[in-house]
Chain A
Amino acid sequence: MSALSLRALAWIVARDCNSTIGGQAAIELMRRSLARAGWLDDAQHGLLLAVSRFTPGTNMLAYCASLGWTLGRGAGAIVAVAAASLPAAALVAVISAAITSIDRWPGVRAVLAVATLAAAGLVLSSAWTLTRPYLRGSRRIWTVASIAIAAALAAAGVTPVRVLLMLAIWGALTPQKETAAR
């Protein structure tokens, strides 16, 4: 990857990660931006998302580290993580230093509520984008079973990381011939 591409990666990651509250909406924005530029396909995105889910800490930053590594090796990983986290960290530090509470400003709260609603839409859209490829072809029943198991475990109060581990075991025990191209 050229220096220009690293700059472009930094710009996309910084813009998309720091324009939403929370990780999943930001990851979906990044997926769309990078897919438009032809840098990332849905299968790669799915793999990066799976890795980020198994990495301790903030999922969004783990996604950025693996994305940066995929597109630009070590330099890409460092650039992507820095671009994703530095603007937000600086803003948090400045706000922490400057104010006692922004919650008392009704206008700010209303804007945040609308932004959160938009983020929720992006999160749900991301869930559908990830699942849709598996609902085509001969693995439909296996996919529906996987969704049902994950939903049942989550509803039973099993922690997300345990749900993921149990589904990994389920997948290893039920190997499928057809799989998403990577």
Chain B
Amino acid sequence: MSLGLLYLLLLKATVTSFSGMGSLPQIRQDFVVTRRVVDDEQLSRAVLVGRSTPGPLGAFVVSIGYAARGWPGAVAGWLAVVTPAFLAVPLLVLLRRWLYLSRLRTAVDAVIIAGATLLVPSGVGLARDAIAQLFQGG
């Protein structure tokens, strides 16, 4: 698999997800099922490393890149993780330009409140996992 194709496949997965681990199903489909350049064990290990390492959860994509093409693949994986982030800049510019509209301001407020509400199950899930791990003896 060429580095360009590796980057594009990983980018396809990251740009169509909205959370760090959200790209996992697409990555499995492309790398394990369709092209067979990575097996399920390597995929699990990548997820484990990504989840066990400080930093963004999406960093597990770097490990997938490494498994597929070594160090250059890891760089391609990192680029695939960071590329979608820059889409936030035009979104922010557009949002600020139209923020004087009360409907838009209220829509943004509603999204902020919804985002905060969605954090609760994430936080509870993290706590539950951590407590379960502690009771299993670390």
State the CA gap A134–B110 with chains docked (Å): 10
State the CA gap A46–B106 with chains docked (Å): 12
Contact with A along B98-126 (1 / 0, CB 8 A): 01001111111111111111111111101
Considering the complex, give the chain B residue whose CB is closest to the CB of A166: B114
Contact A167 B52 (CB under 8 A): no
Contact with B along A43-83 (1 / 0, CB 8 A): 00011111111111111111111100110000001000110
Contact with A along B76-88 (1 / 0, CB 8 A): 0110011111111
State the CA gap A149–B86 with chains docked (Å): 30
Residues of chain A within 8 A (CB-CB) of B53 are: 21, 88, 91-92, 95
State the CA gap A99–B82 with chains docked (Å): 25
Q: A65-B86, A150-B113, A171-B106 are in contact. Are A21 and B57 (CB under 8 A)?
A: yes
Contact A134 B113 (CB under 8 A): yes
Q: A50-B112, A55-B85 are in contact. Are A96 and B63 (CB under 8 A)?
A: yes
Among the 9-residue stretches B1-9, B27-35, B127-135, the one with 4 or more Cβ atoms under 8 Å from chain A is B127-135
Contact B63 A180 (CB under 8 A): no
Q: Main SS of chain B's interface residues?
A: helix
Q: A81-B85, A151-B117, A167-B113 are in contact. Are A58 and B19 (CB under 8 A)?
A: yes
A169 at the interface (CB under 8 A from B): yes
Q: Main SS of chain A's interface residues?
A: helix
Interface size (A, Cβ < 8 Å)? 99
B25 at the interface (CB under 8 A from A): no
A sample of 28 inter-chain contacts (CB < 8 A) reads A17-B56, A47-B92, A47-B95, A56-B17, A57-B87, A58-B57, A58-B84, A59-B19, A60-B56, A62-B85, A65-B88, A66-B89, A70-B92, A89-B59, A106-B138, A114-B130, A117-B130, A121-B127, A123-B122, A127-B116, A128-B116, A146-B114, A146-B117, A151-B120, A163-B114, A163-B118, A164-B111, A176-B102
Q: Given A61-B56, A171-B106, A171-B108, 15 more contacts at CB 8 Å?
A: A18-B55, A24-B119, A55-B87, A57-B18, A66-B88, A85-B78, A89-B74, A93-B78, A96-B46, A116-B129, A120-B123, A126-B119, A127-B120, A167-B107, A176-B109
